[in-house]
Structure 1
């Protein structure tokens, strides 16, 4: 497998450029990693203080929308809560931990929600971070129940976890929700759970990842025979194109699956998905779909933030020799997102953190706005780039 650095012109990834990050365009400035984290914390603090208990998904005109999600069962509460845990750990401010715990309890009932395939999105950034940082026994119990609920979505004949859309449907997004099943398997010492998660990963690898590393958004199966029927998309340009956020989910999701299992085929899939992204995104921030027919398609910054975080994890999984190019590309993407072209630091009245993201282009939702997962994965990537904070975990 070729390292990511070999997939683009070497001049685009020279060491000096990688060290200083991408340059900002006219009228824009680039914040440091720490300044970007401080800005994000200020935006989240304002949201929590002004609208306590609210779990928005996307902005409209830069203002958070508090109506119920019109597209999917609400799946954004974990991202908001996860940012609070990052700030609690980095700052040591007890206010952040108090808020993080309060919002965790608010989303806790979702551990038993049979109506969504997004349980991992809800619980991993929230209760997962609580457990990872503190070893809290109740957090462990929540994660086990959430993992069991997610595993119950298995369609035995086809070997995949179904979406809320239909028992015959699975999304590339679901790869971001198998981690909680692997967690539950480990914490409950239940190898059958791990097998369910692994079966889904390999079904996704076979049917939703193409030979060139690009991905389908949705796959449909015959629920009686398990036969793969067709590709489809809800948020991409067309069924045979590649929706950028779905590609980002694949990079991150297969990397996570490898971290849980150590299976080389899952790591290979993560690398192929990453290489496709790198080949097709020289400036780091993709359009909503690489086959978008627009002459100047809008950028989808949340896909870039997810990819930056995913590539930092992938680089760490591969080690210095094989992972440095992915890490370098990720830091270059992150430098681009730290520019006020994307970071809302110079956008008066803008309530989100990361601008120029899109929720659902086809449905006209959150287009060229902020979205909660874009903010969360940007904060995660910044946190990874900043490195560990001093002091022991509060166990």
Structure 2
């Protein structure tokens, strides 16, 4: 593992920030109000394909807000209103999307609206963005299943193939409901967060501290059924991005609820992830693979894990352990900066290279990803500006 530890004000991190901002600015000029696709193709983002009534470049799917989040971060880093104005164009479009009931059948409303409309409220006090965020939280609450006490991940709620399924990514969608509870005083949102995170803590984290990607409950009885995967190597392997979501998501859930068991769940996910990294600190796409494997890496998992470890360090109750989480996060970020960024910003539309979206479906393998780019910039923000107020 690299020994370089980026700290606020170092040449390494300052250069990485400037390179990232250069690419974000170029992408903003290239795409305008159109949204890029989930991943690059040959290191270049293309416009998001049309689907149904949604045109090419339209606001559909679960990843569009990662572009918006990058714009908000870029504005905070620079004060350049060009970034703020572009983010506001997206924000208005997200408000339109929720009010038009357009492509809302997903738990990823948390990703979509936390990084767009909630961020606009936090940063600017935008009242229409606040209202749209609450509408999105209400749409997400429609997916809460009694008596299982979980939020269904994907698809029409009447689809038997998806009924009763949640995935570990869902932890990152809970902050939208936590925010809505704080804003409205309505405890339905907070109760959903408490119950959903408890179910994931008990069933999606395995005894050895690895995680399932996805878990099913009986939607009628609420009984747990089985764990599985959609994007990992196999059902009982440990998909790297899911483990990183566990580190970050359980830490956020602990901060929201004060439930010590969620703090321990984040620690468990962190220990397992860190114990299964290759020498350079950037995971293979599934943690079943180790040094010597020719399997693809997933730099996006590392970027998420950096943010998760830094969040965990902030809520960690033991000072020495918090220092260890911070040091490991800095080392992982250094590896990303040194070995997973383009040699020159103009060489790629992505901020970090060598990510994986969905290897079993051969989708976005060894490419850049919108979420990898977002979490890389968030990681740089957290390291260079430790007083930054997160959007989650």
Check conservation: 1:170, 1:218, Cα contact below 8 A: yes
**Corresponding position of 1:183:** 179
**Corresponding position of 1:271:** 267
Secondary structure, in 3 states, of the residue corresponding to 2:357? Answer: coil
Check conservation: 1:110, 1:122, Cα contact below 8 A: no
The structure 2 residue matched to 1:52, chosen from 32, 44, 55, is 32
Secondary structure, in 3 states, of the residue corresponding to 2:347? Answer: coil
Check conservation: 1:155, 1:167, Cα contact below 8 A: no
Check conservation: 1:18, 1:329, Cα contact below 8 A: no
Check conservation: 2:95, 2:129, Cα contact below 8 A: no
Tell me how far apart the structure 1 counterparts of residues 324 and 97 of structure 2 sit (CA, whole Å): 38
Secondary structure, in 3 states, of the residue corresponding to 1:177? Answer: helix
TM-score normalised per structure 2: 0.88
**Corresponding position of 1:24:** none
Secondary structure, in 3 states, of the residue corresponding to 2:131? Answer: helix
The structure 2 residue matched to 1:312, chosen from 310, 313, 338, is 310
Check conservation: 1:60, 1:369, Cα contact below 8 A: yes
Secondary structure, in 3 states, of the residue corresponding to 2:363? Answer: coil
The structure 1 residue matched to 2:282, chosen from 285, 294, 313, is 285
Tell me how far apart the structure 2 counterparts of residues 141 and 345 of structure 1 sit (CA, whole Å): 42
Secondary structure, in 3 states, of the residue corresponding to 1:366? Answer: strand
Tell me how far apart the structure 1 counterparts of residues 72 and 78 of structure 2 sit (CA, whole Å): 10
TM-score normalised per structure 1: 0.87
Tell me how far apart the structure 1 counterparts of residues 119 and 110 of structure 2 sit (CA, whole Å): 12
Tell me how far apart the structure 2 counterparts of residues 389 and 158 of structure 1 sit (CA, whole Å): 38
Tell me how far apart the structure 2 counterparts of residues 88 and 159 of structure 1 sit (CA, whole Å): 38
| Cα displacement (A) at 1:18 | 5.2
Deviation sequence 1:253-306 (CA, Å, 0-9, x none):
111111111111111111111111111115321111122498321110000000
**Corresponding position of 1:5:** none
CA distance change for structure 1 residues 83 and 286 in 2, over 3 Å: closer, same or farther?
same
Question: 4+ residue stretches of structure 1 with deviation over 4 A?
Answer: none
Check conservation: 1:287, 1:298, Cα contact below 8 A: yes
**Corresponding position of 2:163:** 167
Q: List alignment gaps of at least 5 residues for structure 1.
A: 1-11, 22-29
The structure 2 residue matched to 1:221, chosen from 191, 213, 217, is 217
Whether 1:239 and 2:249 are equivalent positions in the alignment is no
CA distance change for structure 1 residues 198 and 45 in 2, over 3 Å: closer, same or farther?
same
Tell me how far apart the structure 2 counterparts of residues 273 and 103 of structure 1 sit (CA, whole Å): 33
Select between 173-182 and 374-383 the one with higher mean Cα deviation.
173-182
CA distance change for structure 1 residues 69 and 297 in 2, over 3 Å: closer, same or farther?
farther
Deviation sequence 1:155-195 (CA, Å, 0-9, x none):
11211110114122111111110110111111010112100
Tell me how far apart the structure 2 counterparts of residues 226 and 130 of structure 1 sit (CA, whole Å): 37
**Corresponding position of 1:338:** 337
Whether 1:82 and 2:62 are equivalent positions in the alignment is no
Secondary structure, in 3 states, of the residue corresponding to 1:57? Answer: strand
Select between 42-51 and 77-86 the one with higher mean Cα deviation.
42-51
Check conservation: 1:18, 1:328, Cα contact below 8 A: no
Tell me how far apart the structure 2 counterparts of residues 69 and 344 of structure 1 sit (CA, whole Å): 29
